[in-house]
Amino acid sequence: MAKHRELGLTDAEFDLILEKMGREPNGVELAMFSLLWSEHCAYKHSKKLLGKLPTDGPRVVMGPGENAGAVDIGSGWSIAFKVESHNHPSAVEPFQGAATGVGGILRDVIALGARPIAILDSLRFGELDSERTRYLVDGVVRGIGHYGNSMGIPTVGGEIYFEAPYEQNCLVNAMCVGIARTDEMVRAAAEGTGNQVVLFGSKTGRDGIGGASVLASAEFGEDDEGKRPTVQIGDPFEESKVLECCQELLAADLLVSLQDLGAAGLTSSAGEMASAGGTGIDIDVGKVPLREADMEPFEIMVSESQERMLAVVEPGKVEEVLALCTKWQTDSAVIGEVTDTGSFRILKNGETVGDIAVEDLVDGCPLYDLEPDEPAEWIYPNYVTLREGADASEITLSLLGSSSIASKRWAYDQYDSVVGSRTVHRAGAADAAVLNIPESDRAIAIAIDGNGRRVACSPRLGTIEATLECAANLACVGAEPLGVTNCLNFGNPEKPTVAWQLSQSIDGLADACRALELPVVGGNVSLYNETPTGPIYPTPVIGMVGELPDPETCAGEPWRDGDWIALAGPFNPSLAGSELEKARGQLGKGLPEVEIEPARAAIELIRESVRAGTIRTVTDVSDGGVATVLSELALGSGVGCKVTLDPVIVQRDCSEEDALFGEGSGGFILAGDRQSIELLGGQGVQIEMLGRAQGNEIRIQAGDTAVDILVAEAKASFESLAHRIEL
Amino acid sequence: MIWGVLQFPGSCDERDAQNACELAGAETRLVWHEETDLSGIDGIVVPGGFSYGDYLRVGAIARFAPAMNAVADFAAAGGPVLGICNGFQVLCESGLLPGALLTNESTRFICRQGDLVVGDADSPFLSGMSPGETLSIPFKHQTGRYFAPPEMLEQIEANDQVAFRYAEGQNPNGSLNDIAGVVNEAGNVIGLMPHPEHAVDALTGSTDGLKLFRGPARVEA
């Protein structure tokens, strides 16, 4: 096979390279092209679509194109955040794949000059009865904990879903949130001819070669074991030193710009720095500190060794920079210079071994139009896990114990959630994580969401729902959303069905963000999540950051005996795409239409009520429907409830089963004193009083159907997952 | 009172420890691991984290840090020294405290809010508490299973050197006798696995940890 094809370039792309260069690329140059022209680096199948997303807003400090996005939270402080995938490395080597996924997203935030203060993870695995799934879960959870815990960054939230289409291709998306003084943030652009390029952090080794092209931008096949060497090895100790070193370098104002080395290593970091600065750059591979002395120039240029940073430094400050690196016991070297040539030159001890125009390398990759085609039928398999004829009580217990709904405390307990002393709501404790930000006299809330199954039913509506759910989660703690990051996990975009899923999903994201007036400030696209058995569920993972004025008033309290319970919002329950439909093996295409404006009004009402302190118990209706949410609230507080859903059936014109187990956007369950709840009525948001919190039973009446279970039974079911996962 | 908070490469709870000392009314100074001059410092915190990455045995490298030699002298002169988590491990490795910390029985990292019961130990750190009192403090570690050979364990118990035990049924790691923290014979050096520096603000869970940081100042006054 021709060399360029082995490296993942098509014949047409190779011809374009020949045309642009006017000659054959040598080995170093070809390797560099193959990586920067990979899907992972060039977004060649998604860039045109991503242009539809709104990216501007009054609070945006850094938008797409920087290492991470950032929004202003006032008092001179900004919050930087980004989510990124490490799916294929984690599927091949779960512990290191997940660990380096965390390490990489931390560096993106560190590169802005921010100090990371929180990590969240969005994980997808196959069903738990698979041995491979249990192996992946164990490794991924340990890997995330290993890296974040060692770094002293709290993991404060996340979500874990188990669905068969992720069996061979798990998803590991990590989100990092950091804090920085707005006027001290740094950009990644290389500026100033004659400025020096300093590489610091870990030595460069042979790990991770071809990660972005061979591993991340290709489907999985049968020889995946052979791809283990393309996975990098994480060293959180090194990153911890690099973090503190960066903080000192920036505090001393020693850097012109800073960039982390991620996918495609030096090639992408140096190339993108030069591109952003409109300059040229020389890199001498002979000066790069190496783990193995005999590395080839191309290996040095594409190595994805972790824990490395690249900085542009004025010549007069180089000595001070190197001295600080020495203090933090981290390797450092001047490896190049910013030039005015517009060329990315690779030298080896002064001799040129590669020379590419920065523009050709970074922006020259052709962008493709997709050929979307909506599949006529549901393309994913269905499995029955619920006994036929199960009554409402049995269904409720079964849903509470189902892998995606049941408690994930067994995972969250393995993560340090308290380091930093900011964590007001820990993972699983409320709808969104809440972190205290005394620096700016306020708090932030963070949510991450994306139900792939519902997106599979309707890519556009499912994505709108995921975005609304994030905003609803923030509202439940009183936070106003400021910005969005996303990680778009899809199959092979060259296939029409996947192309349709991707384009529909991005349309949905754009619509929802525009309606909520929310800018998308950064993100990541992960395509080719596909194995010989088919693509994963299309899974856009939405990360959202919001602010709240007072961390003392952020709800999340359990309901109390005697509290009144109500349903609020334009919730229109339907079994389409629901957990119950999944359990019955009846999943199919389509979701009911989502009305964004009424949902937005409900979100705002809930947010203001939480802020005012009139609501202390509130959660949005999501997986498993109203019966499941009520049961979760009951088992969380230890107090049962006696409610009737008859007003819901009447007001929302739905069936008994829809009222109990139907899903959809825009619903909130709230509890508190009757007067406070009644005061919420008449403000343009639909509200039905359902009953009261009391006793040790969960009794939910819906017409002639009833759920009647003990709180203790619900709790046992909800906490059953840890045993089933064999912890 | 001025607390010196040690900082090794890989420390990650040192800023929280500083914050806790300051909330308890003291001043703080970060002490870099290569420093040996502790003059002007009234108490030492060896904080949590992963000193030097802890890729060898926990605390095994940190005990050789120049600053730890100075801490040993400081402790021998009766100065108060508090080791938290990795700091506890380092103090055990240094021989300033008896026993050793082994990997949790589950082999996994655990992090959860839990209850500590104050022991009978006589130490300035416990001066604001009574034996049997319960504190709500986060447990957070992967290598926190307290171990001592039978004779040593017997001696620790006989000397009332147990500062804290995990509340009944809450032992997260398999520690012998539910031991969560111990003091040296003189009572001026204390180490514990749970994290009092993360329990200093009701907003983030509890303020019980402050008592520990106020102890030595209370005795001094």
- The secondary structure of A542-561, three-state, reads EEEEEEECCCCCCCCCCCCC
A150 vs B contacts (CB less than 8 Å): 10, 12, 50, 53-54
- The type of residue at A264 is A
Query: What whole-number distance in Å separates Cα of residue A603 and Cα of residue A613?
Result: 15
- Bridge partners of A197, per DSSP, are A312, A336
Q: What is the average pLDDT score of chain B?
A: 96
Q: Which residues pair with A343 in a beta bridge?
A: A357
Nearest Cβ partner for A419 among B12, B53, B200: B12
Q: In degrees rounded to 5, what are phi and psi of residue B81?
A: -130, 125
Determine contact, residues A566/A438, Cβ cutoff 8 Å.
Answer: no
Helix locations, A70-225, DSSP H: 87-92, 94-110, 131-151
Under the banding of pLDDT at 50, 70 and 90, the label for residue B220 is low
Coil, strand or helix: which one is B106?
coil
pLDDT range class, residue A7, cuts 50, 70, 90: confident
Verify whether the Cβ–Cβ distance B205 to A418 is below 8 Å: yes
When scoring A421, A422, A727 by the number of chain B Cβ atoms within 10 A, the one with the most, hence best to mutate, is A421
Q: Which residues of A81-108 are buried (b: 16+ CB within 10 A; e: fewer)?
A: bbbbbbbbbbbbbbbbbbbbbbbbbbbb
User: Nearest residue of A to residue B172 by CA position?
Assistant: A413
How far A422 CA lies from chain B's nearest CA (Å)?
7
Compute the 3-state secondary structure of chain A and give helix, strand, coil in percent, each to the nearest 5. 40, 25, 35
pLDDT number for residue A222: 56
What SS3 state is found at A116?
A: strand
Closest CA to A640 of A692, A695, A690: A695
Tell me the one-letter amino acid at A455: V
CB contact under 8 A, B198 and A151: no
Task: Find the closest chain A residue to B194 by CA distance.
Answer: A418
pLDDT computed for residue B25 by the predictor: 95
Contact A417 B111 (CB under 8 A): yes
The neighbour count for residue A315, using CB atoms within 10 Å, is: 12
Question: pLDDT band at residue A262, thresholds of 50, 70 and 90?
Answer: confident
Residue A270's closest CA among A312, A304, A333, A235?
A: A312
ipTM: 0.96
Of A267, A263, A245, A250, the C-alpha closest to A331 is A245
Check: pTM over 0.80? Answer yes or no. yes
> Half-sphere exposure (CA, 13 Å, Cβ side) for A209?
16
Q: Which structure tokens are listed for A293? A: 């002395």
Q: Across residues A666-688, what is the average pLDDT?
A: 93
Instruction: Label residue A726 by pLDDT band (50, 70, 90).
Output: low
Mode of pairing for the β-strands spanning A442-449 and A433-437 = antiparallel
CB of B140 less than 8 A from some CB of A: yes
Residues of A in contact with B200 (CB under 8 A): 421
- Residue B214 reports pLDDT greater than 60: yes
**Which residues, in sequence order, are CB contacts of B169 under 8 Å at separation 6+?**
none
Interface probe, candidates A419, A435, A548, chain B, greatest B C-beta count within 10 A: A419
Closest-CA residue to A58 (of A543, A547, A483, A542):
A483
Helices and strands (H, E) in chain A, number of each type: 26, 28
What is the per-residue pLDDT for A65?
84
The mean pLDDT value for A171-183 works out to 97
Say if residues A403 and A166 touch (Cβ distance below 8 Å): no
**What contacts B56, CB < 8 A, 6 or more positions away?**
none
User: Which residues of B are tagged catalytic?
Assistant: 85, 195, 197
Closest CA–CA distance from residue A557 to any residue of chain B (Å): 13
Question: What is the arithmetic mean of pLDDT over B173-187?
Answer: 98
3-state secondary structure at position A404: coil
For chain B, state the CA radius of gyration.
15
d(CA A481, CA A607): 10
Name the amino acid, one letter, at B221: A
* Both tokens assigned to B31: 């002490």
How far is the alpha carbon of B102 from chain A, nearest alpha carbon, in Å? 17
**How far is B100 from chain A, CA to nearest CA, in Å?**
20
Average of pLDDT values for A524-533? Answer: 92
Q: What is the pLDDT of residue A213?
A: 62
Closest CA to A603 of A483, A541, A611: A611
Residue of B12, B58, B61, B106 to mutate, interface with A, max A Cβ within 10 Å: B12
Rounded Cα distance between A613 and A556, Å, is 11
Judged by average pLDDT, the poorest of A222-226, A310-314, B68-72 is A222-226
A645-666: burial string, b at 16+ Cβ within 10 Å, e else = bebbbeebebebbbbbbbbbbb
- CA B28 to CA B5: how far, in whole Å? 7
Half-sphere exposure of A307 (CA within 13 A, CB side): 25
Interface contact B208, partner A, CB < 8 A: no
Please judge whether A240 and B55 are an interchain contact, meaning their C-beta atoms are less than 8 angstroms apart. no
Q: Is the pLDDT of residue A398 over 60?
A: yes
**Contact flag B9-A328 (C-beta cutoff 8 Å):** yes
Mean pLDDT on A613-637:
96
| pLDDT tens digits for range A471-500 | 999 999 999 999 999 999 999 999 999 999
CB contact under 8 A, A236 and B50: yes
Nearest to A413 among B9, B13, B111 (CB): B111
Residue B154 distance to chain A (closest CA, Å): 32
At position B135, the amino acid (one-letter code) is L
Show residues of chain B in contact with A422, CB under 8 Å.
Answer: 204
Closest CA–CA distance from residue B58 to any residue of chain A (Å): 12
Closest residue in A to B201 (Cα–Cα): A421
Strands B189-192 and B179-183: antiparallel
The distance of A613 to chain B (nearest Cα, Å) reads 16
Question: Average pLDDT of A203-219?
Answer: 72
What is the predicted pLDDT for the residue at B218? 78
Q: How many CB pairs under 8 A join A and B?
A: 84
Residue A229 has what pLDDT? 63
- Compare A20 and A723 and report the one with higher pLDDT: A20
| A145 → closest Cβ in B12, B50, B109 | B109
To the nearest whole angstrom, how far is the Cα of B211 from the nearest Cα of chain A?
17
Q: Are A346 and A354 in contact (CB under 8 A)?
A: yes
Helix axes A711-718, A625-637, angle to 10 degrees: 100
The lowest-confidence range among A6-15, A97-106, A210-219, A399-408 is: A210-219
User: Does any CB of chain A come closer than 8 Å to the CB of residue B10?
Assistant: yes
pLDDT grade for A137, boundaries at 50, 70 and 90: very high
Q: What is the distance between the alpha carbons of residues A182 and A189, in angstroms, rounded to a whole number?
A: 17
What is the per-residue pLDDT for A683?
87
Banded model confidence at residue B97, pLDDT cuts 50, 70, 90:
very high
Alpha-carbon span B24 to B76, nearest angstrom: 25
Lookup: tokens for B15: 């800023």
Residue B122 and residue B105: Cα distance in Å, rounded? Answer: 30
Residue A226's pLDDT band, with cuts at 50, 70 and 90, is low
Substitution target in B52, B111, B137 with the highest count of A β-carbons within 10 Å is: B111
Q: Which of A237, A421, A727 sits opposite B16 (nearest CB)?
A: A421
More confident residue, A699 or A679: A699
Tell if the CB–CB gap between B10 and A235 is shorter than 8 Å: no
Of A92, A662, A719, A101, nearest to A413 (Cα)? Answer: A719
Mean local confidence (pLDDT), A370-375: 96
Radius of gyration in angstroms for the set of CA atoms belonging to chain A, rounded to a whole number: 26
| Alpha-carbon gap, residue B9 to A307, rounded angstroms | 15
pLDDT at A30: 94
List all residues 6 or more positions away from A78 whose beta carbon is below 8 Å from its beta carbon: A61, A62, A70, A71, A72, A114, A179, A180, A181, A182, A185
Q: Over the stretch A41-85, which tens digit does the pLDDT of each residue have?
A: 889 999 999 999 999 999 999 999 889 999 999 999 999 999 999
* Tokens at A59, concatenated: 């609070």
Interface list for chain A against chain B, based on CB atoms closer than 8 Å: 142, 145-146, 149-152, 235-238, 240-241, 244, 328-329, 412-424, 436, 551-552, 727
> For tokens 């590395």, what's the residue?
A295
pLDDT (mean) for A428-440: 90
The residues with which A174 forms a beta bridge, in sequence order, are A84, A121
For A135-144, A425-434, B22-31, which range has the lowest pLDDT when averaged over its residues? A425-434
Position B86, amino acid: N
Instruction: Look at B204 and A421 and tell me if their CB atoms are within 8 Å.
Output: yes
Residue-wise pLDDT for B122-149, tens only, equals 999 999 899 999 999 999 999 999 999 9
- Assess whether pLDDT exceeds 70 at residue A220: no
In the numeric block, which tokens belong to residue A201?
């952090």
Give the per-residue pLDDT at A592.
96
For residue A680, pLDDT over 80 is answered with yes
Residue A462 has what DSSP assignment?
H
Residues in chain A: 727
From A240, A413, A551, residue closest to B12, measured CB to CB? A240
Give the three-class secondary structure for A293.
Answer: coil
**Cα–Cα distance, A461 to A507 (Å, whole number):** 9
**Residues of chain B contacting A146 with CB distance shorter than 8 Å:** 109
Q: Strand A641-644 vs strand A697-702: parallel, antiparallel, or unpaired?
A: parallel
Whether the CB of B205 is below 8 Å from some CB of chain A: the reply is yes
Residue B136: the pLDDT is: 98
B53 to A419: CB separation less than 8 angstroms, yes or no: no
User: How far apart are the C-alpha atoms of A715 and A88, rounded to whole Å?
Assistant: 35
Q: Just list the catalytic residues of A.
A: 40, 86
Residues in chain B: 221
Mean pLDDT, residues A125-137 = 93
